[in-house]
Structure formats: structure tokens, C-alpha cells
């Protein structure tokens, strides 16, 4: 079972699992985590974000994520962020990872009580993030920048949202990378 817990100030949350989850098992399916983007969520371009006031930018950046190059989706009303997946915090050594079909799976075997985290560098391509990471892991990058995905590609291969796959393919081909072919994904199941 997944739980939202307060991890700092009263408006700062994280997502935790009360049960163990095996590596590669499905945690959030694509259909699942887009369900609350119907009301109060809207897409903007990076240029439109620059026109936001400081207060609006702060609000929008809390839950927004990139849908594509040039397309950010988010909300200014934090009450509109309902689905648990909105409260996944960033870590530079995350416990979750994308599969190849926009689903989010366990990056390794997870113990009960572990926080579910994602590397925001997996989906941030339009704007450098304002926060400083304090994940404390050995590979902590401190700042999450819009071009991090180019370096992270060497770590995660094709484990990125599908909108990035064509760019990754070009990158890997230009580098004659070992990631020229997608690895075969193990079968994932939700029974954990
Ligand atoms: Zn970090």
C-alpha cells in the first residue's frame, strides 16, 4: 500500500510504501498518474513560464512536469494535485524509474517504509529547477537542470518518458553508445 506522508513543513509531502516492492514491479501506470490532470491543470511553454510572477512560478513549479520539449503541464492550485504520484520527491539515486511505456516501476527491491523517489532529470527538459537537492546520495547533483537528461541517458538508457525516446536514439547513435538497442524489459506485475 502506498501512503502520502508529511516530510517537512505542513505542505511538503512524500510517498512511501508500507509493503516491500520487488524490482521492476509496476508502481504507477501511465493511465493512473494522468487521471487528475483534468481540472485546474493546463499546459504552458517555457516562454510563458517566464511571464509568470515569482509567486505564480513558485506555485506552478511545485507539481508541474514536462510533457514534451516546449510543453509543461501543471497547476497553480495545489488542491488540484490529488494523485499520489504528484507527491513523489526527487532523488539523484531514485527508488523508482520509468519503464519504456511511461509507466513508473521500482528501480530495485524496496523495503517497507522506503520513500518512493524519482530522478526529476528523467522528465525535466524545459526549465532548470529552482530547488537545491538535499538527497544526500553519493551522486547528488544539487541542482536539477533541463539538460541533465543528456548525462543521465548514460545511466538510465531508455528508462525515460516516451517523448524523450527519439532524442535519446539520436544521442546514442551519435555517440555509438551501448544503448543503441532497447534492452528487453522484464515482465512487470502489480502484485507486490
Ligand atoms: Zn540529490
Distance 158 CA to ligand 1 centre (A): 21
Task: With cut-offs at 50, 70 and 90, classify the pLDDT of residue 184.
Answer: very low
Res 122 pLDDT > 70? yes
Distance 188 CA to ligand 1 centre (A): 27
**What's residue 191's pLDDT?**
43
Distance 143 CA to ligand 1 centre (A): 8
% of the chain at pLDDT higher than 70: 90
Looking at the structure of the chain, the number of domains it has is 1
Distance 88 CA to ligand 1 centre (A): 14
Pick from 50, 48, 49, 46: nearest CA to 70: 46
Residue 173, domain CATH: 2.170.270.10
Is residue 61 domain-resident? no
Is residue 70 domain-resident? no
**What's residue 180's pLDDT?**
59
**What's residue 176's pLDDT?**
78
Residue ranges making up the domain that contains 154: 2-40+77-178
Res 76 pLDDT > 60? yes
**What's residue 11's pLDDT?**
84
**What's residue 85's pLDDT?**
92
What's the sign of the alpha-carbon dihedral 175, 176, 180, 186? negative
pLDDT digits (tens, 9 = 90+) for 126-178: 999 989 999 999 999 999 999 999 999 999 999 999 999 999 999 998 987 76
Distance 120 CA to ligand 1 centre (A): 10
**What's residue 183's pLDDT?**
55
Task: With cut-offs at 50, 70 and 90, classify the pLDDT of residue 35.
Answer: low
Mean pLDDT, residues 53-77:
95
Is residue 85 domain-resident? yes
Phi, psi dihedral angles at 99 (to 5 degrees): -85, -150
Distance 4 CA to ligand 1 centre (A): 21
Mean pLDDT, residues 50-69:
94
Is residue 62 domain-resident? no
Is residue 66 domain-resident? no
Is residue 36 domain-resident? yes
Mean pLDDT, residues 176-189:
56
Give the global pTM. Answer: 0.89
Phi-psi category of 142—alpha, beta or left, where left has phi over 0 and alpha has psi -120 to 50? Answer: left
Terminal CA-to-CA distance of the chain, rounded, Å?
A: 9
Is residue 81 domain-resident? yes
Q: How far is CA 87 from CA 4, 12, 27, 63, 148, in A?
A: 7, 8, 14, 8, 21
Is residue 171 domain-resident? yes
Distance 117 CA to ligand 1 centre (A): 11
Pick from 120, 124, 142: nearest CA to 133: 142
Amino acid at each position: 500500500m502506498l501512503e502520502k506522508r508529511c516530510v517537512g513543513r505542513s505542505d511538503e509531502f512524500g510517498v512511501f510504501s508500507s509493503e516491500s516492492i520487488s524490482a521492476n514491479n509496476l508502481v504507477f501506470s501511465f493511465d493512473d498518474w494522468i487521471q487528475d490532470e483534468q481540472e485546474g491543470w493546463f499546459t504552458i511553454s517555457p516562454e510563458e513560464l517566464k511571464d509568470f510572477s515569482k509567486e505564480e512560478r513558485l506555485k506552478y513549479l511545485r507539481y508541474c512536469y514536462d510533457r514534451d520539449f516546449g510543453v509543461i503541464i501543471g497547476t497553480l492550485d495545489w488542491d488540484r494535485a490529488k494523485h499520489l504520484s504528484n507527491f513523489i520527491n526527487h532523488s539523484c539515486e531514485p527508488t523508482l524509474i520509468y519503464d519504456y511505456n511511461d509507466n513508473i516501476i521500482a528501480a530495485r527491491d524496496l523495503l517497507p517504509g522506503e520513500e518512493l523517489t524519482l530522478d526529476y532529470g528523467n522528465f525535466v527538459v524545459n526549465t532548470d529547477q529552482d530547488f537545491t537537492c538535499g538527497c544526500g546520495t553519493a551522486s547528488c547533483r544539487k541542482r536539477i537542470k533541463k539538460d541533465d537528461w543528456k548525462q543521465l541517458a548514460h545511466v538510465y538508457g531508455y528508462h525515460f518518458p516516451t517523448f524523450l525516446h527519439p532524442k535519446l536514439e539520436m544521442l546514442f547513435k551519435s555517440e555509438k553508445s551501448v544503448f543503441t538497442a532497447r534492452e528487453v524489459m522484464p515482465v512487470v506485475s502489480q502484485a507486490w
